[in-house]
Amino acid sequence: MSDKTGIEWTDATWNPVTGCTKVSAGCDHCYAETIAHRFTGSKAYPNGFQVTLRPERLDQPLRWKRPRRIFVNSMADLFHDDVPDEYIAQVFAVMAAAPHHTFQVLTKRHARMRSLLNSDGFLDAVTEADGREGYCATAGLTTYTWPLPNVWLGVSTENQKWANIRIPALLDTPAAVRFISAEPLIGEIGLNPLWLSPSIGCALWNGKPTAQDKAALNAIARAAVKKHDGTAAFVDWVIVGGESGQRARPMHLQWALSLRDQCVSAGVPFLFKQWGEWGPAPWKVQRQADEFTLDYKARAEATCATHAFTGGMYQDDDDQWHENFMKLGHQPWSLERDDDTPPCAQGMRKWGKKNAGRELDGRTWDQYPDTTAAVPA
């Protein structure tokens, strides 16, 4: 928990829960697990990465007076099965009592989020938790609307499989703002146009919607009255990022560009968080006229691609297709390496997160939904 954070899309983190368990491929190299194991037994992580409720942290946002975006549970998943409904209600009561903040709740437990936040008793549980703890009374509030206008709900979508599963559940959940986090992005994602814009979706149907179109439209129809201002529910924000850490998997340039282009076309705010450990690299650099051989070799080895997405595909045990990624056999200065990148290939290099940077297609992308947290009327 911190009033300052290096996470690019938020201002602060708040962890009323710590610890989690893995549910999908995006969890494989979890940064939170690494940190928790490193500090197991400390005050911050007394139980390591076991799911642990931290009630002493519940009122932390109420002590932060300056408005900020707050990532809820950067070190856990609020909708984990081991977090009681009553405790989640307490978290929502705190968020209701802090309308000057914007809370960003990100989950991989889409099913529980949808079920709980659609249940008739959850708002009553939030009200009861507030009455018991007096959060809203402390903040001077006497009432609040539902869904809370200062709470953004998001789901992780690391590949197409989980985008298809989690996004319809998100659209079927009451929320002021809905977002997806495609990080770590480990495969190409095509966003159903119906998730982004009804006009685009209808234009692409050619008179006959697919089964995926129908499923998305049904989810939108169920959620249409659940947005706080009465409008229909769509994905309001897309975050994309590559994986960091020593065992990070690379992100293809075209995967990121494709999501960027889909968002721009639909008018959806897009934020490119990071390349992560890996990033694009030139296939080969040309030797300068007055450059010594050793200097040229050193420059080429320091800047050129060491690996490549080859354009070939393979199928995993879950029948998911992935693009081949391989280490290049020839040195970047050698005659055996072509001057130009081969067709369908993408040169990559393990730059490290800081050196890989945050630019995509020559610029940074830091767009946010056009909304602000406000005290409900």
- Summarised one tens digit per residue, pLDDT across range 105-145 is 999 999 999 999 999 899 999 998 877 777 776 666 666 78
User: How many CB atoms sit inside 10 A of residue 226's CB?
Assistant: 20
The verdict on 92 and 140 lying in the same domain is yes
Say yes or no: 232 and 342 in one domain: no
Same domain, yes or no: 54 and 178: yes
Contact 307, 325 (CB under 8 A): yes
Q: Is the pLDDT of residue 332 over 90?
A: yes
Handedness of CA 46, 70, 112, 108 (dihedral sign): negative
Give domain status of residue 68, yes or no.
yes
34-43: average pLDDT:
83
pLDDT for residue 172: 94
360 domain residue, yes or no: no
Helix (H, G, I), strand (E, B) or coil at 7: coil
Q: Is 144 helix (H, G, I), strand (E, B) or coil?
A: coil
Cα end-to-end span (Å), the chain: 30
pLDDT at 260: 98
Using CA atoms in the order 94, 98, 104, 106, what is the torsion angle rounded to 10 degrees? 10
Residues 100 and 234 in one domain: yes
| 189 Cβ contact list (under 8 Å, min separation 6) | 157, 159, 160, 163, 182, 255, 258, 259
- Classify residue 2: in a domain, yes or no: no
Residue 15's H or E segment, with its range, is none
Residues 215, 291 within the same domain: no
- pLDDT average, residue stretch 28-48: 84
The pLDDT, as a whole number, for residue 145 is 84
What tokens does 204 get? 């692409």
What is the Cα–Cα distance from 310 to 345, expressed in whole angstroms?
Answer: 5
Domain containing 172 equals: 12-274
Q: Which of 346, 267, 338 is nearest to 308 (CA)?
A: 346
Q: Is position 363 within any domain? A: no
Tell me, yes or no, whether 367 lies in a domain.
no
Q: Is residue 376 part of a domain?
A: no
* CA 45 – CA 17 distance, rounded (Å): 10
pLDDT on residue 376? 36
The reported pLDDT for the residue numbered 24 is 96
**Does position 373 have pLDDT exceeding 70, yes or no?**
no
pTM: 0.88
Residues 63 and 84: their CA atoms lie apart, in Å, by 25
DSSP 27: G
Q: How confident is the model at residue 375 (pLDDT cuts 50, 70, 90)?
A: very low
In a shared domain, residues 34 and 109: yes
pLDDT at 43: 81
Q: Is the peptide bond before 282 cis (omega within 30 degrees of 0)?
A: no
| Cβ pair 330, 342 in contact under 8 A | no
Please say which residue of 256, 274, 292 terminates a domain: 274
Does one domain contain both 261 and 290? no
Answer positive or negative: Cα dihedral of 232, 160, 149, 83. positive
The rounded Cα 15 to chain-centroid distance in angstroms is 17
pLDDT for the residue 343: 87
Tokens of 16: 């009323």
Same domain flag for 158 and 74: yes
Average pLDDT of the chain is 88
DSSP string, 102-115: EEEEEES-HHHHHH
Mean pLDDT of 18-29: 95
Same domain, 240 and 196: yes
Note the pLDDT of residue 32: 84
Instruction: Pull the structure tokens for residue 13.
Output: 């983190």
Is 5 within 8 Å of 13 (Cβ atoms)?
yes
* pLDDT higher than threshold 60 for residue 319: yes
198: closest CA among 174, 171, 162, 229?
A: 171
Please tell me the predicted confidence (pLDDT) of residue 285: 94
Q: Is the CB of residue 5 less than 8 Å from the CB of residue 11? A: yes
Rounded to the nearest angstrom, the gap between the alpha carbon of residue 330 and the centroid of all alpha carbons in its chain is 36
Residue 372 lies in a domain: no
Does residue 30 share a domain with residue 151? yes
169-226: per-residue pLDDT in tens? 999 999 999 999 999 999 999 999 889 875 554 444 455 556 666 666 656 555 544 4
In a domain, 359, yes or no: no
Same domain? 176 vs 293:
no
Q: What is the length of the chain?
A: 377
- Examine the pLDDT at 155 and tell me if it is beyond 50: yes
Query: Considering 255, 274, 293, which residue would you say is the last residue of a domain?
Result: 274
> Residue 307: pLDDT above 50?
yes
| Domain end among 245, 274, 303 | 274
Work out how many domains the chain is built from and give that number. 2
Cβ-contact 1, 73 below 8 angstroms: no
Count the neighbouring beta carbons within 10 Å of the beta carbon of residue 39: 12
Task: Specify whether 229 is located in the same domain as 132.
Answer: yes
